[in-house]
Structures are given as C-alpha cells and as structure tokens.
Amino acid sequence: MGWLIRSGGVAVILSVFGIFYFVGKEVLPLFRSADVAPVGKFDALAVPAVLGVDEWGEMPFFYDGGDKVVFLSVADAARREIEVPGLAGLKITAHAFDPVHLRVSLGLEDGRVGSFLVGYERKFSGDGKSIIEPAVTAEPWFSLKHGEGAVTAVSYGDSGAGRVIAARRGEGAVATVSVLRLGMKRGLVGKGKLSLLEEVEVTKELGAEPLLLRASQNGAMVLVALADGGVAYFLADSQGVSKRQTFRPFDGVSPRQMDFLFGGVAVVLTAMDGRQEQWSLFRAGRDGERMFGESKVFPQLGEGRVIFAASQRNRTFLTGSGRDLSIRHSTSGAVRWEGALDIDPVTAVLDAKGGHFIAAAADGTARRYSIHDPHPEAGWRAFFGKVWYEGGSEPVYQWQSTGGSDDFEPKLSLIPLIFGSLKGTACALIFSIPVALLAAVFSAAFLPLEIKRVVKPVMEIMSSLPSVVLGFLAGLWLAPLLETRVPSVMMMTLVVPLAALATGYVWCRLPNSFRNRFAQGSEWIIVIPFLALAGWIGWSLGPVIESLLFVHKDAATGNEIADFRLWWPQAAGISFEQRNSLVLGFMMGFAVIPVIFTIAEDALSNVPESLTAAAAALGANRWQVVRTVLLPVASSGIFSALMIGFGRAVGETMIMVMATGNTPITEWNLFNGMRTLSANIAVELPEAPVGSTHYRTLFLGAVVLFAMTFFMNTAAELLRQRLRDRNKLV
C-alpha cells in the first residue's frame, strides 16, 4: 500500500509537469521573433522598375518600364518574356504597382494613363506536376484633360465597385494633379466596360508643390505629399472628389515615401530624415468625420533609398533604407526582424501568403528570402498593453479575435478578460461571503443540533448543483426578472437587514419570562416571519421608489417615464444591460455560498468545546464567545474557506457565459456584463484553428488564469499559516 501511495504521488507530479510542458509548448512560440533566411538568387535581369510575385511565391515578374514583362521560375530559373498588348512604341514616363491586384499603372508622355494586369493560373500536367502559367492583360487608356506635358506620377486604386486614378503632369511648381473616377458600365450580357466617370483637377487645393501620389487600394481616397511637409487627403466617392484634410506628419519635413497598408485605411510615411510614422483614419468624436491622425511611431531608418512592401494578409510590412531591412508590425509597432542584405535593393515585394520576400538591385540582381513568422500580431504589448487599432480614436485594451473581412485586425488584449475575471469574482464574493460566513457562525454557535443535522447536509447538496443549470436559471429567469425590478432589489437589500436588526433589538428587550418559553437556538422561528414581511414590503416599495426617484425624460417627446433601465444610462452615462453583474453576483454567489459555508462551519465546529465552555463560565454571552474565542481560533480555517470560494468563483465558466452576455469590456458598472478568462476559453477554443495565434493566445489566457490563482493561493496560504501560528493552542 505504501508503494501504491508513493506511485500515485509521483504520477500526480509527473502529470502536473506534463500539463506545464504542453501549455508552455503552445504559448512560447507567441513571443518568438521572425526568422528570415536566404533561399535563392537571380542575376542578369532587367532593371526592376516594378517587382511583383504570384500568391505562391514561385514565379516573380520584373518590369523595367518598357513593353515586356519578364517572368522567372524559382524552381528552375527558367526565364519567360511576355509582351504587354498596346505598349509597343509608347514612351512610359511614370509607373506604379498595386501588389493586391497585381496591377501596373502607367503614365505616358502624351498625357494618357492606363494599366495592365498580371495574372497567374496553376495547372497540372498529366503526371501530376504543377505548372504556373503567367498572363498579361491590358486595360483601357484615359487621356487627361487638365495640365500639360508628360505624366510624371501615377497611382491606381481599385475596390471592385469603384476605381480611382491619381496622376501628375509636369514637374515642380507648374505640376498639375488630377483625380479620375472610373466605373464599370454593365450591359445585359458580358462583363461590362470600364469608363471614365469624371476627372477633377485638384492642383489649386494643394497649396504647395506635389511630390508623391498614392491612391488607396480600396479606391476611396487619394493622398498627395507636398513640398511644404503637408499631406492632402481627397475623398473619392459617388458624390465626387473633395478635399477633406491636410495633415503634417513630420513638423514640416517632407515625406519621401508614402504607402498604404493592407485594408487601405492606414498609411506609413517616411520622412527625409528617416523618421517613420503611421497615420490612420478615425473619428475624433462620436459624430465627427473620419480624418487622418498619427497612431504609431516606428524606429527611425538610416540613410539610403527607402524600401517598402506591405503584406497582403496582415499588418506586417517590409521596410528599410540601403542594405538594412526590417519587418515591422503596424498594430503592435514591434520590429519582428532586422537584417542586412548583400545587395543594394531598389525595390522589394512580399508574396501574398507572407512566406517570402524578394529584393532587387538596380543592376538586375535579386535575392529571395523565406520568412517564418507565424504569429506577427503577438507580443507583450499586444497582450498586456494599450494598442491603437485602426479606426480607433486612442490606444485601448480590446479583445476581438475574429472579424468578417480579410483585412480584419485581430485585437488580442487579455486585459479585458483579466478585468472581467476579477469583476465577476468580486461580484460573487460580495454577495456570498457575508451570507455564507454569518450562516456558518449561526450554525456552529447558535443552531440546535437537531436542526443543524438537517441544514448542513442541505447546504452541501446545494454545492452539487450543476453550474449549467444555475447559468440557465440566471439567463432565462433571473435576468428578465431583475431587469424590471432593480429598485425593488435595492429596497429589499436595505429593508431586510434593518428588519433583522430591529427584530433582534426588540427581542432582547422582551421580558425574560416570555423569551424563556423558547428553547435556546430556536429564536430564528420568531425572526423568519418578520424577514419575510420585510422582503415583501421592500419588493412592493420598488415601483413606488422608481416613480419618485428614477424618472427618465424623453428628449424627443418630453414625456417622463419612470423606468430605471432608461434613467441609469441618462444619469450615469453608462449602459444598462439585461444580463449584468448584478445577476451574476446573485447566481454565482448561490454557487459559492455552499462551499464557503461548509468549510467555515467545519472550522468553527472544530474549536475545542473546553474553550467555549471556559469563556461561558467566565461570564461571556454567546456573541462574546463567538467574537473572542470561535472566530480567532478558527480564523485560519475560515480564511481557507474564503480562498476556496475565490477559486470556485474565478474558475467558473457556464454561469459567466450565460448570465453576463460575455462582452469583453472594462467598466466597473454593476449593470453591464463582462467576459472572463475561463468563459473565453470555453467559448472560443473549439473554433480556434490548432496552432494559430488565436489558439495559442487562449492557452496564454489559461496560463494567466493559473498565475492569478497560484499567487492568490500562495499569499493566502502564507497568511493562513501566520493566523494559525498566532492562534494555535498550547
């Protein structure tokens, strides 16, 4: 038997370490930086004015501003040239590249703008070998009506439904900038024809010489960098083209690079002196228009030509100057990788899956690198710091792991979940601790033995109620009931304790001849009817108090409505939800009360009877015995009961999910919900892809939950031992 017990103990220890190993294996990759390694090189290519690559990263293409596109196979270095239809004999004076749509936009010497698309199709031969077939498709040309001279800068934005082209003609102070809105006219049969809707010259609205043009990938806006350091923002929608803002990112220093990130609502700007900032669209107020504001500041770049390539699947981007490049994540602002190349790159591109990047030099040499960075959006700041997300007006703690679009920005802050766990636990303990401890004291010191033999088993049976049943009752019965009777609950909370005190006060002043008719410990029979009456009175007074104090005035009609649900948001400025912390406190407290009661009552009952008898012999009444003997001697056991109740509350899942609405917010508002770490794991883990950032972050939440309970229990054990040593019997 001894060996069996030892083997069981060792097995438990090994199991615990096995759990730690598994959880650590899932969590540690979140905090690793990116790994970049060279995987290939290409030489003797055309001067790469434009560099692009297919979504698989297997066949990059190079365009030198002529009439041909060069494709190169990564596998066998096979070179293939495809002529762009309609470019023969034309002089290209401006070009730009959209890596999302694989579109090269062009400007001509004669004042026309157009574009061509690069496409790839994967085919399989008879032996099952994969083959990638490239293709080039020309798009219509449009003649600029405003300005003179060659097109010196061009940029193309395409959202599918709407398209925009920004073009500059001429150089210096005489340069003109035009914005063209395009649309697809669809017929009854066929794909439709791309046509020009309008051309708007915006030169007069700039106020300075235009240096850079960028049309957003969603075709909704155009940014123009100016020589005086400003950036003009034009909105292009169905209402036309209109200037919305001029912002100054570098205090008068002109930008030398300006590129949109994936999604088209944030732009990264690099100054002449190497400073790099991110500006995003957001509303400064609730009803204001979305304007650009500074949201991130990145480490400064060095001297040399600026390289920039944005990812097409997340918020990472490749940037650098000279040979020094780095991979950065725009959401967290973290630098994922830094390194130096063996060439002087003039352009670079990331493939669609973010697994490789290609950098090309002016002499035609190029290098291909693999990227291993499965969790770019992770990091200490992303999990525990305030982050300025796109569209937000300020840095916040926010949890939103999934979204409905490809350009969704994961929000993985654990702070709202930690806050929700602490808030839910506090609400449960505030309700359960007084009830459980007072009940334990009454049961151990005052209740007759024959009644105690019934009460204690009933309380222990309560602890066996499934939490899903309690959550069901909280969400479908208690929450709708309390939603309309909050003032009644307030009155009951006030009236019932006062009635208990008043009943006790009157009882103590009744003649001894009357009180002696009741056996010692049976006074509760007298108190219960008065408490029931007080509860009914408090419940009935709720609507009366609501009509007097909690009156909401409708701003539209001017009518006054006695409704606490409407009055609370108007008076406090915070929300009122049906499933809230009040409902959770009642139902979670109902689940925790039996645990605290049972352990505390055992601790009080185990105090040696000789001590209580000695105190009574010295003239102490029953309350004095409780205060001076029972509570001090049993304090360590009572404290253990509180800690076990804390663990029961902080780890509860189903009641949290069903009673609180499961919303990850950080407000100390009694009338809204929360999301806890345990509930979040239960809800999202079944749908999280194994090995993904979301999946590993949920395991990190489990580690945080374990750390919270571990440190709390450790501190509680130290305090319990101290109480035990101070009150131990010799």
Q: Is the pLDDT of residue 187 over 80?
A: no
Nearest CA-CA partner of 474 in 592, 582, 581, 587? 587
Summarised one tens digit per residue, pLDDT across range 540-552 is 999 999 888 888 8
| Cα(475)–Cα(234) distance, integer angstroms | 49
- What is the DSSP secondary structure assignment for residue 28, as one 8-state letter? G
> Helices 415-445 and 635-650 sit at what angle, rounded to 10 degrees?
140
Using alpha carbons, list the distances in angstroms from residue 625 to 445, 614, 638, 688, 711. 9, 9, 16, 57, 34
Whether the pLDDT of residue 217 is over 50: the answer is yes
Place of tokens 């060279």: 38
Where do the domains of the chain lie? 415-726
Can you give the pLDDT at residue 730? 42
Which pTM does this prediction carry? 0.87
What contacts 528, CB < 8 A, 6 or more positions away?
none
**Coil, strand, or helix at residue 377?**
coil
Residues 6+ apart with CB under 8 A from 551: 560, 561, 562, 567
| 405 pLDDT tier (thresholds 50, 70, 90) | low
**Per-residue three-class SS string for 692-713:** CHHHHHHHHHHHHHHHHHHHHH
Determine the length of the chain.
Answer: 730
Q: What is the pLDDT of residue 219?
A: 85
Lowest-confidence segment of 303-307, 328-332, 380-384 by average pLDDT: 303-307
pLDDT at 434 over 70: yes
In Å, what is the CA distance from 428 to each residue of 375, 424, 458, 705, 707?
A: 36, 6, 21, 17, 20
Give the pLDDT of residue 189: 58
Read off the pLDDT of residues 284-299 as tens digits, 9 standing for 90 and up.
Answer: 776 678 899 999 999 9
> How does 310-344 read in b/e, with b if 16+ C-beta sit within 10 Å?
bbbbbbbbbbbbbbbbbbbbbbbbbebbeeebeee
pLDDT of residue 573: 83
For residue 190, pLDDT beyond 60? no
Sign of the four-CA dihedral 225, 230, 232, 233: positive
Region 252-262 average pLDDT: 89
Among 714, 710, 712, smallest CA distance to 16 is for: 710
* Interval 711-728: pLDDT, tens: 888 888 888 788 777 766
Helix (H) or strand (E) run with residue 304 in it = none
CA-wise closest residue to 379 among 409, 422, 336: 336
User: Across the chain, which distance is largest between two alpha carbons, in Å?
Assistant: 121
pLDDT at residue 653 is higher than 90: no
Helix axes 415-445, 581-605, angle to 10 degrees: 40
SS3 track for 606-631: CCCHHHHHHHHHCCCCHHHHHHHHHH
Look at residue 131 and tell me whether its pLDDT is greater than 60: yes
Average pLDDT over residues 648-661: 85
**Alpha-carbon dihedral sign for residues 427, 432, 438, 444:** negative
CA distance 705 to 679: 11
Instruction: Name the one residue in this structure whose structure tokens are 């070179």.
Output: 79
- What does the block give as tokens for 244? 């919305």
Give, to the nearest 10 degrees, the angle between helix 415-445 and helix 693-726: 30
Residue 96, pLDDT above cutoff 90: yes
Taking the CA atoms of 136, 142, 143 and 146 in sequence, report the sign of the dihedral they define: negative
Residue 729: what pLDDT? 56
As a whole number, mean pLDDT of residues 302-307 equals 86
Q: Is the pLDDT of residue 56 over 90?
A: no
Q: Looking at residue 325, what is its pLDDT?
A: 94
378 contacts 701 by C-beta, under 8 angstroms: no
Evaluate if residue 108 carries a pLDDT over 90: yes
HSE-up (13 A, CA, CB side) for residue 474 = 28
Given 1.20.120.10, 1.10.4160.10, 1.10.3720.10, 3.20.20.450, which CATH number is that of 415-726?
1.10.3720.10
pLDDT digits (tens, 9 = 90+) for 562-612: 888 888 888 888 888 888 888 988 888 888 999 999 999 998 988 888 888
Structural contact between residues 28 and 45, judged by C-beta atoms closer than 8 angstroms: no
Give the residue among 609, 648, 651, 650 at the shortest CA–CA distance from 630: 609
| Residue whose token pair is 């990130």 | 261
The confidence score (pLDDT) of residue 279 equals: 93
Q: Is the pLDDT of residue 485 over 60?
A: yes
Residue 186: pLDDT band by 50, 70, 90 thresholds?
A: low
Q: Report the chain's terminal Cα–Cα distance, integer Å.
A: 35
CA–CA gap between residue 31 and residue 619 (Å, rounded): 66
Dihedral sign, Cα of residue 429, residue 430, residue 434, residue 435: negative
- pLDDT for 450 equals 83
Residues ≥6 apart with Cβ < 8 Å to 50: 62, 63, 65, 95, 96, 97, 104, 347
The position carrying tokens 């409704």 is 563
Q: What confidence tier does 188 reach under pLDDT thresholds 50, 70, 90?
A: low
Q: Which residues of 230-266 are buried (b: 16+ CB within 10 A; e: fewer)?
A: bbbbbbbeeeebeeebbbebbeeebbbbbbbbbbbbb
| Proportion of the chain above pLDDT 70, given as a percent | 97
- Is residue 34 exposed (0-12), middle (13-18) or buried (19+ Cβ within 10 Å)? buried
Per-residue burial over 40-77, b if 16 or more Cβ lie within 10 Å, else e, is eebeebbbbbbbbbbebbbbbbbbbbbeebbbbebeee
Residue 182 φ/ψ, nearest 5 degrees = -115, 155
Amino acid letter, residue 413: S
Instruction: Specify the range with the lowest mean pLDDT, choosing from 243-257, 427-441, 710-724.
Output: 710-724
Query: What's the token pair of residue 578?
Result: 């049906």
